[in-house]
Structure 1
């Protein structure tokens, strides 16, 4: 008997299939734990993994059990205390133990909750699974066109890996039949004539010899036709067609004026960090434009957006004007899906709020797919919120939410970008 020994080294991801099957099976419990975990996270550990506790009762398998009434016969092997005919008393109810929350007891047993550790990728996939950019449309790209390879019939030349065997064999068979048809027809006639000649003696040997030679010659000509030729080869032809695809730009506008203290700026940064992570994980063709503003707005990079210490007065319209200019110069609406997320405490120069309203109504909202405004204040709304309410009445794709503290960030984010059913 042969003995086979597998000496291959175990792969690092050998349990990936089992992990994914487990996640699919207990998805509702895991997603609930992920949502609860996100509420307590800070900006520094926003994209790390998480340990998830799943109650033991949710892991139990369905089994058949007997009810408390009736009689049944059973065999209990290995009993030393009972003999045939003995009555076995039922165990008292409630003698078993459970997990968590009960009082101490000297009897019963239970089982701890199952702890499942999610990796960073699994954790973020579950958290962002049911989120999306609202109203995202497929548009024809202006800079980078996405091509799709499609079937376009057959060609006489191509890559050997693209040979269509069936089509090639059909062509070879047709060619053989066409080239060998005259010789095959004459071969059948010669064979029939020879049979008739041999069946009616006396046999004309000279004619029979001529027929035999002709038959051999015709058979050789038929066999000389090659089974397949390079002329018969057919290759699957594929062409690349330009495909409409999704290309989007997200404008992140953050107020860094003096009224935005350190705590409020930290809340705004946490929101934008979560948004940036969501965009980069879920969308390939996405650009992010960072704009910081106080009295003057400036387009900055990611590093300066999150870590610059610049501050000043408050003129929100400067950021909206800069956004409008960038859209006109770099992001035509025929090729881009435009989105905006703005975070501010709502404090604005009172003469500037009407200007912000007019800029939104005339230059921005007619061209954006979705606009999300987050006001970070525990107090009553400021003049900017009142001006934006007029914009919301006219455009349903304008959303406004208020954030009081860290616990509001994740619920507000999920509410703004949750998947809408058509």
Structure 2
């Protein structure tokens, strides 16, 4: 009888090998993920998909026998044998020789699921200085010790508790001590015949009792018991302040929205209790929902202080600084009314920064300019002056899509791995 299995291969069949590969080639895959995200649309910025990494460094290590006497079956030639790497041409990591010369390798293409893509994308990011102020309603669960049980996993056996109970049982049942039996055996070797008969009988009785009372009995074994318990989570709020005035071109708005989209996905993915407040402003500010913030049209003059004042009012009414970790991220082209500069600076220094854990400012510009040599705007000049006076401000400039992720990563990368920002 022949059995033919015509079932389709199940999904996730090689999950273990897939995860092992991701661990081995994590640095290369993570770099490819960050590169691929630069040119995606906002709504698809963290969707899974195909990434390409160079073949170099992903081969499995193996042992090869060198030298000695061995038998070979050659596949029709003496130049190549099993296990040899054959050169081939392709469009992957090209050689450094000129056109038409040398060899090259194909890139290895790997399809990531959405969860794998997001995990690699956000792997080394965190909110700076997240303090446990008032703890939020607990949603995550942790494990805590909850005494002992008579059944459980062998890995959870409590050796000390088991041995203590075994010792107590042996004492209670008066199990003969090995020393007592040894003393009787020593006396037996030197005694006369009448005494010998008594000692043999006593020894047999003691040994029989010792066999009936084991050193460790199953009733002695105790396992450490654990139970789930609510784990408190620190709560935080992120204010997203975006300039949508008439001076912001579509390119600038696209850069700002890409930054906020990364921030939104990062917060929702990594933290359970983070409120996000969207505020957009022209010469007046308004709190809006997510859809309006990213896609709603708006235009008008520019007053930065209106957004800062709106943030201050919301903090005062809904987010008590003693209970909440407060963060803010502002994006603008840098234009502002001349008369509004001092008002905005005073709001920042006296109202916003004293209660904030972190305040980031992103200045966007047209793609023709160099982000490191952009002319200093009125907002940039104001914030630079405040920062030189000790204000905890983080400031960055961008003018192209491919600069968004490096800047975002620089602002929110995990402490301890953070490099000095330019």
Q: Which residue of 2 aligns with 1:291?
A: 279
Counterpart in 2 of 1:219?
Answer: none
Q: State the alpha-carbon separation in 1 of the partners of residues 31 and 166 from structure 2.
A: 63
Q: How many residue pairs are counted as aligned between the two chains? A: 379
Q: Does 1:37 align with 2:25?
A: no
Q: Secondary structure at the match of 1:319?
A: helix
> More displaced, 272-281 or 391-400?
391-400
Superposed, 1:316-331 pairs within 5 Å as: 316-331=304-319
Query: Which residue pairs with 1:352 in the alignment?
Result: 340
Tell which deviates more after alignment, 44-53 or 235-244: 235-244
What does residue range 263-282 of structure 1 map to in structure 2 within 5 Å? 263-282=251-270
Residue aligning to 1:384: 379
Which of 403, 408, 411 is 1:413 aligned to?
408
Distance 1:81 1:129 in 2: 49
C-alpha RMSD over aligned residues: 5.2
TM-score by length of 2: 0.69
| Partners of 2:349 and 2:391 within 8 A in 1 | no
User: Are the counterparts in 2 of residues 140 and 243 from structure 1 also a CA contact under 8 Å?
Assistant: no
> Aligned in 2, Cα 1:8/1:375: closer, same or farther, shift over 3 Å?
same
Measured after TM superposition, the shift of residue 139 of structure 1 is: 3.0
* Deviation of the 1:173 alpha carbon: 8.8
* Structure 1 contact 292–298 (Cα < 8 Å) conserved: yes
CA contact (8 A) 1:151 1:239 kept: yes
Hey, what's the Cα distance between the residues in 2 that align with 1:73 and 1:148?
A: 60
- Mapping for residues 118-197 of structure 1, pairs under 5 Å: 118-141=112-135, 143-144=137-138, 148-151=142-145, 154=147
Summarize deviations over 1:348-388 as a string: whole Å, max 9, x none. 11111111111111111111111111111246232122111
- 1:398 aligns to 2:386 (yes or no): no
1:246 corresponding residue in structure 2: 234
1: distance between equivalents of 2:284 and 2:385? 25
Q: Specify the alignment match of 1:313 in structure 2.
A: 301
Post-superposition Cα deviations, 1:316-375, rounded to whole Å, max 9, x if no partner, equal: 111111211222222222332211001111111111111111111111111111111111
After TM superposition, the score normalised by the length of structure 1 is 0.69
1:281-329 per-residue CA deviation (whole Å, 9 max, x = no partner) reads 1112211111111222111111121122233222111111121122222
* Secondary structure of residue in 2 paired with 1:351: helix
Partner of 1:185: none
| Structure 2 unmatched ranges of 5 or more | 80-85, 176-193, 195-216, 367-373, 418-422
Structure 1 residue runs without a partner (length 5+): 83-87, 89-94, 182-198, 200-227
In 1, Cα distance between equivalents of 2:157 and 2:60: 50
The whole-number CA distance in structure 1 between the counterparts of 2:115 and 2:247 is: 37
Q: Is the 2:360–2:394 contact (alpha carbons within 8 Å) kept by the matching residues of 1?
A: yes
Please give the alpha-carbon distance, in whole angstroms, between the structure 1 residues aligned to 2:55 and 2:26: 15
